[in-house]
Amino acid sequence: MTDLRQLLGTNMKIYRKSLGFSQEKLAEKVDTATNYIAAIEAGRRFPSISVLEKIALALKIDTPELFSMKPVQYNTVKQNLEEQVWQDIGQNLSAYISKQVSALKKT
């Protein structure tokens, strides 16, 4: 049987690092103490449902992903996030260029 505290802590740490967050930054986003985040990641504490939801929201994942039995692969998570960022940049850049071209046509 898998220790849920360890599983949660490991997954949380991987997702946090994939976003480039320190424990301090995650604690700030969750509105809790840094040492509480550290204790969860170390498997010494288990958060309430409301804190789990805040953690998942801060990590931009669904709450059940924190308990995935399949080992979370840091590189896969990072790659997926990078792809999402590049897609967002591409869409924003395309809209910006279209706006600038329209503005130039008016002059």
pLDDT digits (tens, 9 = 90+) for 84-100: 777 878 777 777 788 88
R_g over Cα of the chain: 18
Q: Which pLDDT does position 23 carry in this prediction?
A: 97
pLDDT digits (tens, 9 = 90+) for 48-81: 999 999 999 999 999 999 998 775 565 666 677 7
Q: From CA 104, how far away is CA 96, in angstroms rounded?
A: 12
Question: Which residue bears the tokens 């740490």?
Answer: 13
pTM over 0.75: no
Structure tokens at 9: 């802590």
pLDDT digits (tens, 9 = 90+) for 10-48: 999 989 988 889 999 999 999 999 999 999 999 999 999
CB atoms within 10 A of CB 21: 17
DSSP string over 75-103: HHHHHHHHHHHHHHHHHHHHHHHHHHHHH
Beta carbons within 8 Å of 89's beta carbon, 6+ residues apart: none
